[in-house]
Amino acid sequence: YEHSSGLFARGSFVMRKSGATMVNSNANYLWPLQYSALEAGIGYQFGKGRIRPYIAASPYFARLLSANQTSGSMNFDMIKSKSVKETDFGLMLTPGAFFALSDDISIYGEYNLLTGLQNIETGNNQRLFNRGYSFNLGVSMRISKLTNHEASENKPETKNYFRTKDADDALIHLRGIIN
């Protein structure tokens, strides 16, 4: 949702793969993790021209779907052993920019910086936090609600079904993200 003042709200459900790799004494260790996460936040869009930079902050809550430790042919399920917490929460900071192709369609590029705020390691002697970044490209389509005046012009029999002040106050962006 976007307001004509430049403020906007955003939310998403994402699937995220992360993890780490380490080489020690010619042994390769892998820790692939997979999360599903809900994100909801606010932001501000600067300007009204064809190029509109923005910044957003979104807290997230994530659920761990899979976590393994792999070394060679050995595989260790970290969820079954309860060596990592099954939930995480943190903050996503997102600077980006919209590039208007028309009044209703834009493409955008953004950088996401993810900072986990919870130690996901269950052991007392280790600390492990989710940290990550991504670059996203997407398409944004603006869908405006009709005002009472526009609705009555398009359908004379329509009676006060829409309750927005003007079309600019009710913008919805549909985002398709390509990582």
Would you place residue 56 in the very low, low, confident or very high pLDDT band (cuts 50, 70, 90)? very high
Q: What kind and span of H or E run contains 176?
A: strand 171-178
- The pLDDT, as a whole number, for residue 39 is 95
CA distances from 123 to 19, 30, 51, 68, 81 (A): 18, 19, 48, 16, 11
Alpha carbon distance 172, 10 (integer Å): 9
pTM of the model: 0.71
Percent share of the chain, pLDDT over 70: 79
- The pLDDT, as a whole number, for residue 124 is 81
Q: What digits encode the pLDDT tens for the residues 61-115?
A: 999 999 999 988 889 999 999 989 999 999 999 999 999 999 889 999 999 999 9
Alpha carbon distance 120, 86 (integer Å): 8
Nearest to 63 by CA among 124, 120, 134: 120
